[in-house]
C-alpha cells in the first residue's frame, strides 16, 4: 500500500477544483496543469503548484507525454484524470502506471474492455445483465443487416462503438433513412473518436435514463451507491440529475444494484464507476454502457450517502479496502443537481462566451455549488461551457425542489446567458414535480419554456413602460397647469 503525498490533476475547471478540495482535506499536495487560455483559471489559483501546457499542435490537456513529463518534474505520486479529456483513455492509464505513478481510476484493462460498447455489452450478457437487442455494422449495410434491422423494428438507434456524449448517435425511423443516417453517424464517430465503427440497437420509446454508482476495491469488494435519474437531457447530454429516482421502488432498486455489482465483478473493476441503464414504460431495465471514471453528477450521490467519492477514489488507489458493506449504505433524503451551463436555452442551448461581470453563488442549508469560475473571469470558447453545478439536498423530493428554486433565485450571473432560468422553469413543471418524465422532456417541452419566458419578458417590459408613462403623465402640464388633477383625496374626506 502506497501513501499518496502529491497528486497531479490532469484536468481543468470545476472538477479540478473539486479534486483539489478533497486532496487538501487528506493532507495531499496538488499539482495542476493549464493551457494558455486557462492561465488565470480558478484551479490554477487553488493548486499548490501549476504548470503551463505548451500547445504542440494538439489540445494541451490531451498531450499525454507532456503531462507525464510534468508529473516527473513535479515528483508526484499519482495522477487523477477527472472526467472528460483523458479520463477514459486506456492508453493514458497504461502509460501512467508504466511511468511509475498511481492512476486514480480503474486499470487500463477495465477501461479498454468497458470503453468498447460492444465488448461491454458482451460482458453484460455473460454476467446475466439485460441489454438492448442490437448488432454491429462492420462493412456497410448489406441485405442481411437490413433484414435484421427490420426484424428489430423501427425506430432504431445508431451508436458509435467508441466514445460517448451523443457523438455518432442517430435515431432512424424508417428503412429509407438507414443508409443516410449510418453514413452520417460513421463520419461523426470518426471525427470525434478516430473510430468510425457503429452499431444498431432497438430504440426504447420514452425511456428513463437511470445510472448506478459503484465503488470497488482491489480485493474483489464492490458496493453500489444507489441510482441517479438523468433523464433531463439536451443533445443526449444531461442538464438536471437527481437521486434517488422517483420511478424506482425498493425491489427494482435492489435488482438494478445487484446487476451492476455482477457486471463490475465480471470485468474485475476497481475504483469508482457508473453503469448506465434505460428503463422502458413497463419498468424493464437494460444496460447501456459503463463510464469508467467519476461522473459530473457525483455530488447528488455524495449528498444522499454522506460519502466523498473523490476521497474514496484516492484511498482505493492507495490500496485500501472499501471498509464498507452494502448494508452500511443508506439513502438519506433527496438531492438534485442543475448543471449551470453558459448556454442559451431559448436558442437551442447554444454556448455563450464572455466575461462574468457579476457572479455570486447561493449559500445556506443543503446548498452546494461546485464551480470553476469567479467574478470577472472570462468564459473561454475553447472548452465545455459548464460554469458550475448547483446541488441541493432536502429531507424529501419536495423539499429538494423547493430548495433548488430558492437557490436559483439567489444565484447571480451576469455577462453570459445560462441555464438558471430554465432550471427554475423545470422545477415548476407539473410532470417533473410529479416524477412523470422521460428523456424526451426537453425536446417536447422546450417550446413551452421559450414561449412562457417570452410572455413574461413582454409583460415586464410593458409594465415598466406603463409605469414610466403614468409617472410622467402625473407631472405633465399644459399652460403651467397639471393635466392630472385627481380629486380622490377630497372625495375621501
CB 415 within 8 A of CB 352: no
Mention every residue, 6+ apart, whose C-beta is less than 8 A from residue 3: 318
Residue 485 domain-assigned (yes or no)? no
Query: What span, in angstroms and rounded, lies between the C-alpha atoms of 365 and 414?
Result: 24
395 with 325, same domain? yes
Query: What span, in angstroms and rounded, lies between the C-alpha atoms of 450 and 444?
Result: 12
Buried b (16+ CB within 10 A) or exposed e, 31-58: bbbbbeebeebbbbebbebbbebeeeee
pLDDT in tens, the chain (493 residues): 889 999 999 999 999 999 999 999 999 999 999 999 999 999 999 999 999 999 877 899 999 999 999 999 999 999 999 999 999 999 999 999 999 999 999 999 999 999 998 899 999 999 999 999 999 887 677 888 889 899 999 999 998 888 666 777 899 999 999 989 988 888 888 887 888 888 999 999 999 999 999 999 999 999 999 999 999 999 889 999 999 999 999 999 999 999 999 999 999 999 999 999 999 999 999 999 999 999 999 999 999 999 999 999 999 999 999 999 999 999 999 999 999 999 999 999 999 999 999 999 999 999 999 999 999 999 999 999 999 999 999 999 999 999 999 999 999 999 999 999 999 999 999 999 999 999 999 999 999 999 987 666 545 455 555 445 445 545 555 455 554 443 333 333 3
Residue 492 domain-assigned (yes or no)? no
What is the CA angle 108-216-21, rounded to 5? 85
Query: What span, in angstroms and rounded, lies between the C-alpha atoms of 31 and 27?
Result: 13
Mention every residue, 6+ apart, whose C-beta is less than 8 A from residue 467: none
CB 137 within 8 A of CB 157: no
H-type alpha helices, 344-476: 397-410, 420-428, 430-434, 441-475
CB 259 within 8 A of CB 131: no
174 with 279, same domain? no
Which residues are annotated as catalytic? 293
Tally of residues, the chain: 493
Residue 99 belongs to domain with CATH number: 3.40.50.20
375 with 242, same domain? yes
Counting the structural domains of the chain, the total is 3
Buried b (16+ CB within 10 A) or exposed e, 442-454: beebbeebbeebe
Three-class secondary structure of residue 196 per DSSP:
coil
CB 336 within 8 A of CB 392: yes
63 with 172, same domain? no
Residue 11 domain-assigned (yes or no)? yes
198 with 217, same domain? no
167 with 74, same domain? no
Nearest one of 276, 279, 318 to 293, comparing CA atoms: 276
283 with 349, same domain? yes
Amino acid at each position: 500500500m502506497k501513501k499518496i503525498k502529491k497528486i497531479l490533476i490532469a484536468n481543468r475547471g470545476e472538477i479540478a477544483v473539486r479534486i483539489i478540495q478533497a486532496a487538501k482535506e487528506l493532507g495531499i499536495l496538488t499539482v495542476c496543469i493549464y493551457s494558455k487560455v486557462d492561465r488565470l483559471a480558478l484551479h490554477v489559483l487553488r493548486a499548490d503548484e501549476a504548470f503551463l501546457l505548451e500547445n504542440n499542435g494538439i489540445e494541451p490537456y490531451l498531450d499525454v507525454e507532456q503531462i507525464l513529463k510534468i508529473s516527473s518534474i513535479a515528483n508526484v505520486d499519482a495522477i487523477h484524470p477527472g472526467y472528460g479529456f483523458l479520463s477514459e483513455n486506456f492508453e493514458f492509464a497504461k502509460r501512467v502506471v508504466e511511468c511509475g505513478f498511481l492512476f486514480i481510476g480503474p486499470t487500463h484493462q477495465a477501461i479498454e474492455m468497458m470503453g468498447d460498447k460492444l465488448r461491454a455489452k458482451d460482458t453484460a450478457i455473460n454476467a446475466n445483465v439485460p441489454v438492448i437487442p442490437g448488432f454491429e455494422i462492420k462493412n456497410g449495410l448489406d441485405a442481411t443487416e437490413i433484414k435484421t434491422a427490420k426484424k428489430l423494428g423501427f425506430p432504431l438507434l445508431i451508436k458509435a462503438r467508441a466514445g460517448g456524449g451523443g457523438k455518432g448517435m442517430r435515431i432512424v425511423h424508417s428503412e429509407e433513412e438507414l443508409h443516410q443516417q449510418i453514413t452520417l453517424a460513421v463520419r461523426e464517430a470518426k471525427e470525434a473518436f478516430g473510430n468510425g465503427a457503429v452499431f444498431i440497437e432497438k430504440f426504447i420509446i420514452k425511456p428513463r435514463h437511470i445510472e448506478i454508482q459503484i465503488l470497488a476495491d482491489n480485493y474483489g469488494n464492490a458496493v453500489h451507491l444507489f441510482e441517479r435519474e438523468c433523464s433531463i437531457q439536451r443533445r443526449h447530454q444531461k442538464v438536471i440529475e437527481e437521486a434517488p429516482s422517483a420511478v424506482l421502488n425498493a425491489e427494482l432498486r435492489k435488482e438494478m444494484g445487484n446487476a451492476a455489482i455482477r457486471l463490475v465483478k465480471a470485468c474485475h473493476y476497481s475504483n469508482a464507476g457508473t453503469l448506465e441503464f434505460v428503463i422502458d414504460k413497463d419498468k424493464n431495465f437494460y444496460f447501456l454502457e459503463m463510464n469508467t471514471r467519476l461522473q459530473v453528477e457525483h455530488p447528488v450521490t455524495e449528498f444522499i450517502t454522506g460519502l466523498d467519492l473523490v476521497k474514496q477514489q484516492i484511498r482505493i488507489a492507495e490500496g485500501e479496502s472499501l471498509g464498507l458493506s452494502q448494508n452500511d449504505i443508506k439513502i438519506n433524503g433527496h438531492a438534485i443537481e442543475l448543471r449551470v451551463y453558459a448556454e442559451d436555452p431559448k436558442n437551442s442551448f447554444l454556448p455563450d462566451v464572455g466575461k462574468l461581470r457579476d457572479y455570486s453563488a447561493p449559500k445556506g442549508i443543503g446548498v452546494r455549488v461546485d464551480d470553476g469560475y469567479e467574478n470577472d473571469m472570462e468564459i473561454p470558447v475553447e472548452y465545455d461551457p459548464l460554469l458550475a453545478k448547483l446541488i441541493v439536498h432536502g429531507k424529501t423530493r419536495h423539499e429538494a425542489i423547493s430548495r433548488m428554486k430558492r437557490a436559483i433565485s439567489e444565484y447571480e450571473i451576469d455577462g453570459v446567458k445560462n441555464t438558471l432560468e430554465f432550471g427554475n422553469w423545470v422545477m415548476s413543471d407539473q410532470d417533473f414535480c410529479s416524477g412523470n418524465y422521460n428523456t424526451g422532456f426537453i425536446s417536447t417541452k422546450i417550446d413551452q419554456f421559450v414561449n412562457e419566458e417570452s410572455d413574461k419578458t413582454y409583460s415586464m417590459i410593458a409594465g415598466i413602460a406603463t409605469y414610466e408613462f403614468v409617472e410622467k403623465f402625473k407631472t405633465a402640464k399644459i399652460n403651467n397647469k397639471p393635466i392630472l388633477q385627481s380629486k380622490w383625496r377630497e372625495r375621501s374626506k
